[in-house]
Amino acid sequence: MPKRIAVVGSSGGNLFGLGGDDPEALISEIVRQSDAANIEISHVQFVAAKRSMDSANEDVPASLWSLREETPIRLDEGTLEEMNGLAREMDGNLARMIEAGEIDALVFVSADPDGVNRTSVEAAASHGLPASGTGGTSISAAQKRGLDFVAASGTTGTTNRTRAVSYISGLAREWGLSYRPVIGATSDAASDEKPWRRISLPSIMISSLPAFIAMALVLAIGKIPGLDFMEDVFTLLIDALPVVVAVVAARKVSGLDEVGVIAGVVAGVLSVEGGILGGIVGGIIAGILAHQLLVLTLARRFPATTANIVSGGLSGLIGGLIVYFAVAPVALAAGDGIRTAIEWAVEVNGILAGAIAGLLIWPAIIGGVYHSAILPIVLLEMERSGNSFFGAIDMVGLVMVAAGITLANIIYPRTTAERAMASSGFPINVGFGTFVEAAYPFMFADRLVFFGAIVSAGVGGSLVGLFGIRGTAYVPSVVAPFVSNNALAFVAAMLTSALLALSITLFANWRSRNASSEKTETKASSKSPS
């Protein structure tokens, strides 16, 4: 029979700003870790106030939370005084459960041993139940009442996840249970045991995209007369990109939210000399170490606060120093090598390089290669100049071609339903520089439209190569030229591919409607009396 625990507490004082203000997430994390140790949560009573208990009065709005079928539920809402009153009644029931042998341990989350939780604490102490918890003041008061803590810590520097891991680690150790902390985003403990399984270069790069687009927008603003001082901001953003990717990498790999972010920041700052590839390496190392160090420190009875400091700070420092002293030159050379290869291809035969890139861009995104290979290359190019050859191919070959196809289906669709479909996709293509998938239904429904998309992208791509254009997608089409290195040429390439796709799609729709009309007439004539 699994061990049974009761979770008691409140949103706390210091805890309020460290996850206590989100009782649903806090309780869910404890449930998650308990499941991993095969520990059953039989009782939850949690008072959540709308502000820190350090400054709350009895009239502050509050709610009372419990658990039903492993799902946090809000039992009632009212003033803090009212919710404390209800919690005292629940605490009496909990004390009776303890007396009946139905509870094996308490988990303290900034509880109130001298007030709301006094009855259950006294019952647990008299029966020798172990406890684990956080909240320095409440734990000290509970210990005075004789409660034995197998894991105790303050809340400073902790998160919902690291606190929950601390609670369950202490109890699992006390009972000799097998427990592997669930650190990642899923409940699959097997995958969480190996953080390196969460390493994904495309995922890290794609998640970092907003920072690169912000940099590109600053580049565009800096070209406005009188705003040339924004060039300093642009340079600052370029220097910050390794920190951004390091944070994303550390957070994803560690699965530790705020702890992973801190580890990534420390690692990223020390990895700046290695460019974004150096930042990714530093962040990955920091993420792996953060996970391992958290489990290691909690297993050795470190307080949750100290475990957080060690896992977040030390992992970031180690990962960053490895890149700083060893990896940075190699990572920088690798990034420069990719950029140099692209520049060389454009210099040797820009028209051919652009045409090939354009012809392959649609098969790449349909086949799933775009996000895993092309987009990371775009971001590597943008690291130095804020725009990219492949970024220009993206805008010209994908976004503008999709815009041309959807516009054609607004002007002259095969069916009314297709006009409605296109009407939702076209504004996004033009207005936001994304959602090229809006063209898929029309491309897959007609081979000529599909062929036209590829040809239009190839023609537009050849113009990108001819003029050596560098740009980006994911920005409004009217903004894209100002982010490029050649605004007029970029506009010409964008319009060419869009108008070509528009023309081919209009012809395809005309042909399709003509064929449908002929079939209808044939059927009608065959049914008419002779």
Helix (H) or strand (E) run with residue 5 in it: strand 4-10
**Per-residue pLDDT at 190:** 37
Integer-rounded Cα radius of gyration of the chain: 30
- Of 52, 56, 41, the C-alpha closest to 4 is 41
Q: Would you give the distance in Å from CA 236 to the centre of its chain? A: 24
- The pLDDT-based confidence of 120 (bands split at 50, 70, 90) is very high
- Give the DSSP letter string of 159-189: -HHHHHHHHHHHHHHHHT-------SSSS-H
Distance, CA of 268 to CA of 242 (rounded, Å):
6
- The pLDDT-based confidence of 124 (bands split at 50, 70, 90) is very high
Mean pLDDT of the chain: 90
Give the pair of three-digit tokens for residue 393: 């191919």
Taking only the tens place, the pLDDT of each residue in 69-117 is 899 999 999 999 999 999 999 999 999 999 999 999 999 999 999 999 9
**Per-residue pLDDT at 529:** 59
Distance, CA of 64 to CA of 46 (rounded, Å):
6
**Per-residue pLDDT at 191:** 40
Tell me which amino acid residue 114 is: D
Number of other CB atoms surrounding residue 209 within 10 Å: 17
Continuous H helices in 51-159 = 80-99, 118-126, 136-144
Burial (CB count <10 Å: 0-12, 13-18, 19+), residue 321:
middle
Does the pLDDT at position 158 exceed 90? no
**Per-residue pLDDT at 368:** 80
**Per-residue pLDDT at 235:** 87
Average pLDDT over every residue of 246-267: 91
**Per-residue pLDDT at 192:** 47
Contact 145, 126 (CB under 8 A): no
Cα 514 to Cα 209, 400, 507, 509, distances in angstroms = 45, 27, 10, 8
First to last CA, the chain: 86
- The pLDDT-based confidence of 188 (bands split at 50, 70, 90) is very low
Q: Write the CATH number of the domain with boundaries 4-179.
A: 3.40.50
Taking only the tens place, the pLDDT of each residue in 348-401 is 999 999 999 999 999 999 988 888 788 888 988 988 888 899 999 999 999 999
Contact 255, 284 (CB under 8 A): no
**Per-residue pLDDT at 246:** 96
**Per-residue pLDDT at 388:** 93
Show Cβ contacts of residue 187 under 8 Å, excluding neighbours closer than 6 positions: 32, 35, 36
Does the pLDDT at position 419 exceed 50? yes
Domains of the chain by residue range:
4-179, 197-331, 387-514
Q: What's phi and psi for 67, nearest 5 deg?
A: -140, 135
Q: Which residues of 79-118 are buried (b: 16+ CB within 10 A; e: fewer)?
A: ebebbbebbbebbeebbebbeeeebbbbbbbbbbbeebbb
**Per-residue pLDDT at 189:** 38
Give the pair of three-digit tokens for residue 424: 């939702």
Taking only the tens place, the pLDDT of each residue in 310-320 is 999 999 999 99
Taking only the tens place, the pLDDT of each residue in 475-525 is 989 999 998 999 999 999 999 999 999 999 999 999 988 887 766 656 656
Taking only the tens place, the pLDDT of each residue in 447-472 is 999 999 999 999 999 999 999 999 99
Distance, CA of 294 to CA of 259 (rounded, Å):
10
- Whole-number percent of the chain with pLDDT over 90: 62
Reduced 3-state DSSP string for 207-226: HCHHHHHHHHHHHHHHCCCC
Distance, CA of 336 to CA of 324 (rounded, Å):
17
**Per-residue pLDDT at 94:** 96
**Per-residue pLDDT at 221:** 86
Does the pLDDT at position 240 exceed 50? yes
Tell me which amino acid residue 185 is: A
